[in-house]
Amino acid sequence: MSPQSLGRTLVIANPTAHSGKGEGAAVFATRFFSSFHSATSSCEVRLTENAGDAQRMASDAFGYQTVLALGGDGVIHEVINGLMLIPEDERPRLGIIPMGSGNDFARTLGMTKNDAERSIAELLSGEERTIDLGNVNGVYFMQTLSFGLDAAIAIDTTNRRANNTTQAGATLYATSGIKILVTGFRGWPYYAVVDGEPIEGIDLAFAVQNGPTYGGGFRICPSAVPNDGYLDLCLTVSKPSLPRSLALFGLIRFGKHTKSRALLLKRIHHVEVSFDGEEQPPCQVDGEQLSADKYDISVVPNALRVIVPSNCTW
């Protein structure tokens, strides 16, 4: 297949992604698009320096046909929230050059991870599709939202990466999960209304997904696809013992937990959730921390055009 032109293109790159490998990927992208003029009509590469830069850059991307997010799920999350500030009829399509530790959104799209050359080749030979997004309290997410244990693990992995751990991806997520489970994690009582149906329990697992994985490949909602008009929910409806919790955690890695009586898995359009007690549980959205007293979560169908590899399976 002949490479397609991405049109006027903006690359938003996080040079610190994947322990600094994002910088080399940004250099490669700059050289590639400068050398292969048929790939774009013009290309600009901008580097982020601080949190929020990617969202601001994306929100200003008027007149571009394509915005490429180079980095991990955090920079992609920011870029998507910036793009959603642009009116739909002017909104550029999104492409990603995945350079992160978790790369869960890249898994959903079927993109090659941590290889800028192959990712760009997939973009140029790929095709455009439309995906849904999730929205929680006005914040968009492309992959994952979770509370309690799930979020505590995600936040712990972020902190460990900041402290230069040698672990990455699913291994990092697994070791953080075991650490938190065996150090007295008790969960938080929750009350939720799921598409009009009230549900309550103890939050051991509470994840709302647009794609199937979180934590670098843990298949928490293995049936989730990003263009079906739904979000996928996995939550604890009864609290298992510590040994059973550890076993479930291992099963989630491969999506083998779906028949557990302790869990509810369901496709949803809307959920509202609040937590009892003075202390609110941690919450993460695409790996970024979020804090609120109550959470209003809904699917936004057909929200964004993305470029996926030509062999994408959904």
Non-local CB neighbours of 109 within 8 Å, separated by 6+ positions: 96, 306, 308, 309, 312
- Tokens for 260, please give them: 């557990």
One DSSP character per residue, 7-18 reads -EEEEEE-TTHH
Q: Answer whether residue 172 shows pLDDT above 90.
A: no
Using a CB cutoff of 8 Å and minimum separation of 24, what contacts does 277-281 make?
277/188, 277/189, 279/188, 280/188, 281/147, 281/148, 281/151, 281/152, 281/188, 281/203
What's the whole-number mean pLDDT along residues 234-254?
85
At residue 185, the pLDDT reads: 65
**What is the model's pLDDT at position 7?**
97
Handedness of CA 13, 15, 16, 20 (dihedral sign): positive
Q: Among 46-55, 110-119, 129-138, 254-263, where is mean pLDDT lowest?
A: 254-263
Helices and strands, number each (H, E), in the chain: 8, 16
Question: Is the pLDDT confidence value at 1 over 60?
Answer: no
Tell which residue, 16, 8, 94, 12, has the closest CA to residue 54: 12
Residue 81 has pLDDT above 60, yes or no: yes
For tokens 């902190």, the residue is 159
Q: How many CB atoms lie within 10 A of CB 313?
A: 7
The pLDDT tens digits for 100-115 are 988 999 999 999 999 9
CB 60 within 8 A of CB 83: no
How is residue 267 written in tokens?
A: 């496709």
Q: Report the DSSP pairing between strands 93-98 and 270-275.
A: unpaired
pLDDT at 184: 58
* Residue 182 DSSP symbol: H
Threshold 0.85, pTM exceeds = yes
Domains delineated in the chain: 8-125 (3.40.50.10330), 144-301 (2.60.200.40)
Residue 314 burial (C-beta neighbours within 10 Å; 0-12, 13-18, 19+):
middle
Assess whether pLDDT exceeds 90 at residue 269: yes
- The runs of H, that is alpha helices, within 202-280 are 242-252
| Average pLDDT of span 185-214 | 90
Other C-beta atoms within 10 Å of 52: how many?
Answer: 12
Quote the percentage of the chain above a pLDDT of 90: 71
